Amino acid sequence: MADEAARLSPAIAIGVGAAFGFLSGAQSRAPEWMQTAGLEWAHRLAHEPRRLTWRYLRTNSEFAVRAVAELTAGRQ
């Protein structure tokens, strides 16, 4: 969505992730304990490793780098 925001302006884009898959029954939800523990991503990764491994490696790594930068910036 970020890549296309300028082209779509002034439209509104809403990311729904796997919501449509869950609601339609095409994708299964993680067990309740995994949802509660914030581990639904691990359930999805286990069920779709080919599609999600690269995405999670890239985006989670980017998040970690930004989070560490934010935390260390506050200490200086």
Q: Write out pLDDT tens, residues 16-66.
A: 888 899 999 998 999 999 999 999 999 999 999 999 999 999 988 999 999
Q: Write out pLDDT tens, residues 4-18.
A: 888 888 888 888 888
- What is the spatial distance between Cα 27 and Cα 44, in angstroms, rounded to a whole number? 9
- What is the spatial distance between Cα 27 and Cα 24, in angstroms, rounded to a whole number? 8
* Residue 2 pLDDT exceeds 70: yes
Q: Write out pLDDT tens, residues 54-68.
A: 999 998 899 999 999
- What is the spatial distance between Cα 49 and Cα 61, in angstroms, rounded to a whole number? 17
pLDDT at 29: 93
Instruction: Parse the chain into domains and list their residue ranges.
Output: 5-75
